[in-house]
Amino acid sequence: MTVTVARSVPEALQALAADPPPEVLAGGTDFMVEVNFARRRPEAILAVSRIDALGQWQQSDGQLRLGAGVTYTQLLEPPLAELAPALAQAARTVGSPQIRNAGTIGGNLVTASPAGDTLPVLLALDAEVELASAQGTRTLPLEAFLLGPKRCARRPDELLVAVRFPAPFGRQEFVKVGTRNAMVIAVASVCVVLDPGTGQVRIALGSVGPTPLRARAAEAYLAEQLVPQGTGPTATSAFELRDGDAALAEVRRLVAEAAQPIDDHRSSAAYRRHAVGVCVARALERLLRPAPGAALGEVAA
Amino acid sequence: MTVLERPRRATRGVGVSAPRPDGVPKVRGQFQFSSDLFAEGMLWGHVLRSPHPSARIRRLDVGPAWAIDGVRAVLTAADVPGAPTYGLEIPDQPVLAADVVRYMGEPVVAVAADHPETARRAAAAVLVDYEPLDPLVDPEDAISAPPIHPDGNVFRHLRIEHGDPEARGEVVVEGTYEVGMQDQAFMGPESGLAVPAEDGGVDLYIATQWLHVDRDQVARCLGLPLEKVRLHLAGVGGAFGAREDVSIQVHLCLLALATGRPVKMVLSREDSFFSHVHRHPARIWLRHQADRQGRLVRVDARVLLDGGAYASSSTAVISNATAFATGPYRVPNATVDGWVVRTNNPPCGAMRGFGAVQACFAYEAQMDKLAAALGMDPVQLRLANALRHGDTLITGQRIEGSAPVAQVIEAAAGAPLPAVGPEALPDVALPGGAGRTATRSRVRRGVGFAVGYKNLMYSEGFDDASEARVRLELAEDGPLATVTCAAAEVGQGFVTLARQICEEELGVERVVLAPPSTARIGSAGSTSASRQTWMSGGAVAEACRAVAGRLLERAARRLGTDPGRLVLAEGAVQALEGADALSVAELLAEGPLEETVTFHHRQTEPLDERGQGDAHVAFAFAAHRAVVDVDLDLGLVKVVQIATAQDVGRVLNPLQVLGQIEGGIAQGVGLAVMEEIVLDQGRVRNPSFTDYLIPTALDMPDVAVAALVEEPEPGAPFGAKGVGEPPTISSTPAVVAAIRAATGLPLTRVPVRPADIALATPGDPRP
Ligand SMILES: Cc1cc2nc3c(=O)[nH]c(=O)nc-3n(C[C@H](O)[C@H](O)[C@H](O)COP(=O)(O)OP(=O)(O)OC[C@H]3O[C@@H](n4cnc5c(N)ncnc54)[C@H](O)[C@@H]3O)c2cc1C
């Protein structure tokens, strides 16, 4: 087994041009588990955690570009936590502090687990991923990148370089259900994003399908239902639903319908379906009427 | 958290919070666990396990394993030189499966190789042609199903008939309760190192709870005399019952003897889940009858435990579950049927609480149900029926020792409730924790109460004695006591207590413990059944007293007086009258003193055909009051606080008692809301810490110790009772009672899953 430690993206791309290409190791929190369970037996490894550029992020023109090597701990710290509050909320639920120090957003994306906690957030934010290889760079919308359980569109010779999405962007909530109060794989998770300027809502569901899913019917229904309340500036004003509680119930129904959950040892499909409905309704209520003074998508560290 | 620390003059000896000698090394990562063992030139072992819960082995071809470079041994059942099977009580479990496998994970082939990865690959290369059979997985079916083992499917059936079979009460409540399969979830996986010896024997360094009983089983399977098999305790990373049975011991020794090289094995987490026993799943039916005033008149019960594929300690676990099926209450009339059966599920055996846990979940649910039927306060109902010293149990045994049941109930019930409700807690402290799922208006608080009890030591006539040797000598810097005892330190703190006892009895400042080994001393019995403080503590105390007696004799000779006129105090032998004194150091200048004693508890007797008999040595009681917050829509639970009071006899080390209470509550909370080995037709679905969930810091409630009740137990060294198990017994039912109070749901099964709450039919009756 050979291990190459890359110090720059071009160096990494050059290493990846080998045939067969080496396997990319970032924080190792998924990779090493697979090695320990003998599900993965790498012949050649390319370590990317020493590539400074991958651990950096930039904000420009209302877009945030996160290097694939950005860790959960970085996501939890300001100013990133304020620019992408739901991502910080998701990051807070990942593993333990040790895992959050090592684990990266790029690793979460390439692992492409239906339970990957950053994925519903990135999906709700209409994120795009940048993939680079010796042949050049391509950009894919997240929905095209995530193909199925633990399957993504990355070619073996490609490095995931960054993920991009609008930020700051509206109001955001990420909520995750697990059978334990911390360090747990999601039984179901939900990200809801509300753009107060347009009154548009986007909903993504995690752990209830082969990939994270958008609840588009619920989004379309909400577009009809949302009405600004009072006269405050749209950025902070409250919204209400035209049909009140009945609308909330309909959203729950549509969300449960959008889910494609399975029965497994972590939960039943019936509970998962129920849980995403409850969570979307709760997240929506928080977004429609933000508590006075509460920073939106506040993160309890 | 309330820490009970009373002012004491002494800084040493019994009663102080002496720090653990291994505490700092463990925290710093410097402690040598069994997985850290090393020997020059050692090989690595690996065991191939059955992927099927039930199958016939049609053909086994080890050729492909031998073809791999670096492989040094590939052993099958045919290579076991001695007895082909082992077992704690009944030797019914094959060292390596020969023609059938009876549970998923059963060992089939043992391999040794130069590298652990080579050993794993070699095991994977073995060709096993299985013919899968329909597994027998329902314990109810097992009673009458065709036997899946030559010994039959019923490990034990026992029946208790007590009092008047015609007695009836006016108020009747009935229920059936279930307990899922819990795992001990220790952190240090099974590991050890076997070293072949020049005498043709073997030295095994192993993490275990009972060196001598392992040795006896290993020697039998190796076909070696006992003295050629020497077991030495390696650093134990937790046990909780899971190291009471033999797991990799025989395999390691076989591989070492076959290769003539030291062989080490460290199981992966997944293999670990398959190679130790679990807590018995239970199905318990109970019918309680009481008079209008709430006095229990009779209890009928049927307890069914799933023992899994092999016997392990099933026969003793069912004895407890049956004997304690009616709880720490005066029950004048009772009929209890207890069954433990063989299935193709993973073998079950010892786990903290040992049969008492399952029973307590059921009888405490019944006590709440009865209180509701009577319109009585549940705590008052318990007080009205609480056992006292002198009462008779349903096994006909009179409680001769202390039984402060009312005291622990009153203290736990009277503890202050948490100061703030869910409305004032931070988000992360609500049900759902870091997932931020809770909406405060949908969170309900509930309070629940439970009491439990259990026997201390082994029962039914078993003499689980302990041997200890104390040597007192003059070292360069003063008197030094050396304790030799085979008691396994598994985290409970015997290493601390043994020192404290020597300090107390001999007044010495320096005490060392010799490494526990079968080569040095006789059996100390198992580190289980809350027994080591009593039994090995007792042995150390008696050995100290014997040494002290010899010291007094020496002094008496020198002073020309009678030893009866002398006392040992403050590092010197002093005359009761007059000023004569000789320092211990002076007396030891004559030479060292050494005494070996074997400590026995009082004799017990087997149960007769009606389940009657003086079967238990002593009992310990505890009460728990749980406060929970429940998310009504998502069914997520946060255990907010557990207040407890425990009958401890006497506190020998307050910090260690607190450690046992907190740890036991963590396991009780785990069983209440998350811990379960999920089985599907005999297959384990979650053999990992990713999916077998145990409480994290965010799941652990605040623990309020309302009282440690100190009523000295007659016959117990220093009057102290074992404290390890009671915290686990009633904490689970207390939590579930609190969830019932919050939700109004009957919740008859643990662990309570979110769906049990969130998807319950709204019309479900209250318990
Ligand atoms: C105890 C524990 C708890 C966990 N809890 C959670 C949790 O709560 N939620 C959750 O979502 N996940 C959890 N995980 C999984 C894991 O931590 C995350 O998925 C993490 O984001 C993986 O990132 P990493 O940097 O460690 O990736 P690695 O393990 O290094 O790699 C993961 C995969 O991505 C590939 N890869 C990584 N970076 C790149 C890149 N730049 N370009 C191309 N390919 C790349 C690797 O080849 C590999 O296939 C947990 C893991 C553990 C061990």
For A112-156, the pLDDT digits (tens) are 999 999 999 999 999 999 999 999 999 999 999 999 999 999 999
Q: Is A21 in the pocket of ligand 1 (CB under 6 A)?
A: no
Q: Looking at beta carbons, which residues of chain B come within 8 Å of A280?
A: none
- B221 CA to chain A: closest CA distance, Å? 31
Structural domains of chain A sorted by starting position, each given as residue range(s) with its CATH number in brackets: 171-288 (3.30.390.50)
Helix axes B356-374 and B731-743, enclosed angle (nearest 10): 40
Q: Is A49 in the pocket of ligand 1 (CB under 6 A)?
A: no
Q: Looking at beta carbons, which residues of chain A come within 8 Å of B434?
A: 92-93, 176, 181-182, 300
CB contact under 8 A, B638 and A268: no
Find the B170 Cα to ligand 1 centroid distance in Å. 62
Residue spans per domain, chain B = 9-31+464-599, 396-452+618-767
In 3-state terms, what secondary structure has residue B282?
Answer: strand
Q: Is the predicted pLDDT of residue B145 greater than 70, yes or no? A: yes
Q: Give the model's confidence band at B578: pLDDT under 50 very low, under 70 low, under 90 confident, else very high.
A: confident
- Structure tokens of B146? 């065709």
How confident is the model at residue A151, as a pLDDT?
98
Close Cβ partners of B25 (under 8 Å, ≥ 6 residues apart): B31
Find the A98 Cα to ligand 1 centroid distance in Å. 13
Give the residue from B243, B274, B352, B266 showing the smallest Cα distance to B33: B266
Close Cβ partners of B705 (under 8 Å, ≥ 6 residues apart): B1, B2, B3, B4, B643, B644, B645, B646, B658, B661
CA distances B436 to A181, A187, B433, Å, are 9, 14, 6
CB contact under 8 A, A271 and B758: yes
Find the A103 Cα to ligand 1 centroid distance in Å. 6
Q: Give the model's confidence band at A229: pLDDT under 50 very low, under 70 low, under 90 confident, else very high.
A: confident
Q: Note whether A185 contacts B: Cβ–Cβ < 8 A.
A: yes
For B299-353, the pLDDT digits (tens) are 999 999 999 999 999 999 999 999 999 999 999 999 999 999 999 999 999 999 9
CA pair distance B762, B755, nearest whole angstrom: 13
How confident is the model at residue A292, as a pLDDT?
61
Q: Looking at beta carbons, which residues of chain B come within 8 Å of A175?
A: 435-437
Q: Among the atoms of ligand 1, which is closest to the Cα of residue A160?
A: 42
Q: Among the atoms of ligand 1, which is closest to the Cα of residue A93?
A: 8
How confident is the model at residue B19, as a pLDDT?
94
CA pair distance A255, A258, nearest whole angstrom: 5
CA distances B397 to A91, B622, B655, Å, are 58, 20, 33
- B3 C-beta neighbours (distance < 10 Å), count: 9
Q: Determine if the pTM surpasses 0.80.
A: yes
Q: Is the predicted pLDDT of residue B535 greater than 90, yes or no? A: yes
Chain B, nearest residue to A279 by Cα = B437
Contact B746, B764 (CB under 8 A): yes
Select the residue from A179, A207, A255, A286 to test the B interface by mutation, using most B Cβ atoms within 10 A: A179
How confident is the model at residue B579, as a pLDDT?
81
Nearest CA to ligand 1 atom 34: A107
Q: Is the predicted pLDDT of residue B9 greater than 80, yes or no? A: no
DSSP 8-state class, residue B329 = B
Contact B675, B751 (CB under 8 A): yes
For A203-224, the pLDDT digits (tens) are 999 999 999 999 999 999 999 9
- Structure tokens of B58? 């049609």
CB contact under 8 A, A181 and B691: no
First to last CA, chain B: 31
What is the sign of the dihedral through the CA atoms of B307, B312, B318 and B324? Answer: negative
Q: Is the predicted pLDDT of residue B89 greater than 70, yes or no? A: yes
Q: Give the model's confidence band at B1: pLDDT under 50 very low, under 70 low, under 90 confident, else very high.
A: very low
Identify the residue whose tokens are 């009427």: A289
Q: Is A297 in the pocket of ligand 1 (CB under 6 A)?
A: no
Select the residue from B442, B634, B692 to test the A interface by mutation, using most A Cβ atoms within 10 A: B634
How confident is the model at residue B191, as a pLDDT?
98
- Structure tokens of B344? 């193709």
Q: Looking at beta carbons, which residues of chain B come within 8 Å of A189?
A: 435
The residue whose CB lies within 8 Å of the most ligand 1 atoms, and thus the one to mutate among A40, A41, A99, is: A99
Chain B, nearest residue to A90 by Cα = B435
Chain A and chain B share a number of CB contacts under 8 A equal to 102
Q: Looking at beta carbons, which residues of chain A come within 8 Å of B185?
A: none
Close Cβ partners of A269 (under 8 Å, ≥ 6 residues apart): A261, A262, A263
How confident is the model at residue A295, as a pLDDT?
46
Chain A, nearest residue to B695 by Cα = A180
Average pLDDT over residues B727-745: 98
How confident is the model at residue B403, as a pLDDT?
98
Nearest CA to ligand 1 atom 52: A29
Q: Looking at beta carbons, which residues of chain A come within 8 Å of B679?
A: none
DSSP codes of every residue in B487-520: ---SSS-HHHHHHHHHHHHH--SEEEEPPPBTTT
CB contact under 8 A, B690 and A185: yes
Residue B109: which H helix or E strand, with range? strand B107-113
CB contact under 8 A, B436 and A300: yes
Chain B, nearest residue to A184 by Cα = B690
CA pair distance A113, A152, nearest whole angstrom: 9
- B391 C-beta neighbours (distance < 10 Å), count: 16
How confident is the model at residue A300, as a pLDDT?
39
Q: Is the bond into B347 cis (omega within 30 degrees of 0)?
A: no
- Structure tokens of A2? 């050979």
How confident is the model at residue B10, as a pLDDT?
65
Q: Give the model's confidence band at A297: pLDDT under 50 very low, under 70 low, under 90 confident, else very high.
A: very low
Nearest CA to ligand 1 atom 36: A107
Find the B693 Cα to ligand 1 centroid distance in Å. 20
How confident is the model at residue B134, as a pLDDT?
98
For B491-508, the pLDDT digits (tens) are 999 999 999 999 999 999
Q: Is the predicted pLDDT of residue A179 greater than 60, yes or no? A: yes
Q: Looking at beta carbons, which residues of chain A come within 8 Å of B696?
A: 96, 180-183
Q: Is the predicted pLDDT of residue B4 greater than 50, yes or no? A: no
Percentage helix, strand, coil, to 5, in chain B? 30, 25, 45
For B690-725, the pLDDT digits (tens) are 999 999 999 999 999 999 999 999 999 999 999 999
First to last CA, chain A: 39
Average pLDDT over residues B76-98: 98
Contact B464, B604 (CB under 8 A): no
- Per CATH, which fold does B396-452+618-767 belong to? Aldehyde Oxidoreductase; domain 4 (3.30.365)
Reply yes or no on domain B9-31+464-599 having CATH 3.40.30.10: no
Identify the residue whose tokens are 């259900």: A177
How confident is the model at residue A233, as a pLDDT?
62
Average pLDDT over residues B234-242: 98
ipTM of the assembly?
Answer: 0.95
Average pLDDT, chain B: 96
Percent of chain B beyond pLDDT 70?
98
Chain B, nearest residue to A183 by Cα = B696
Give the residue from A74, A87, A76 showing the smallest Cα distance to A164: A87
Average pLDDT over residues B427-453: 97
Q: Give the model's confidence band at A231: pLDDT under 50 very low, under 70 low, under 90 confident, else very high.
A: low
Find the B684 Cα to ligand 1 centroid distance in Å. 25
CB contact under 8 A, A271 and B759: yes
Can you say how many angstroms the Cα of residue B451 is from the centroid of all Cα atoms in its chain? Answer: 19
Q: Is A83 in the pocket of ligand 1 (CB under 6 A)?
A: no
Contact A299, A76 (CB under 8 A): yes
| Fold equal for B9-31+464-599 and B396-452+618-767 | yes
CB contact under 8 A, B426 and A300: yes
How confident is the model at residue A221, as a pLDDT?
98
Nearest CA to ligand 1 atom 9: A94
How confident is the model at residue A289, as a pLDDT?
86
Q: Is A33 in the pocket of ligand 1 (CB under 6 A)?
A: yes
Nearest CA to ligand 1 atom 21: A108
From B678, B695, B696, residue closest to A265, measured CB to CB: B678
Close Cβ partners of B219 (under 8 Å, ≥ 6 residues apart): B82, B225, B226, B228, B229
Find the A140 Cα to ligand 1 centroid distance in Å. 20
Give the residue from A169, A141, A265, A266 showing the smallest Cα distance to B685: A265
Q: Is A108 in the pocket of ligand 1 (CB under 6 A)?
A: yes
Residue B192: which H helix or E strand, with range? strand B191-196
Q: Is the predicted pLDDT of residue B613 greater than 60, yes or no? A: yes
Q: Note whether A133 contacts B: Cβ–Cβ < 8 A.
A: no
Q: Note whether A277 contacts B: Cβ–Cβ < 8 A.
A: no
Close Cβ partners of A199 (under 8 Å, ≥ 6 residues apart): A223, A226, A227, A228, A239
User: Which residues sit opposite B173 in a β-bridge?
Assistant: B288
Find the A20 Cα to ligand 1 centroid distance in Å. 22
User: Which residues sit opposite A5 in a β-bridge?
Assistant: A47
Chain A, nearest residue to B698 by Cα = A181
At CB < 8 Å, which residues of chain B contact A?
120, 268, 270, 426-428, 431-437, 439, 633-636, 638, 673-674, 678, 680, 685-686, 690-691, 693, 695-699, 753-755, 758-759
For B149-159, the pLDDT digits (tens) are 999 999 999 99
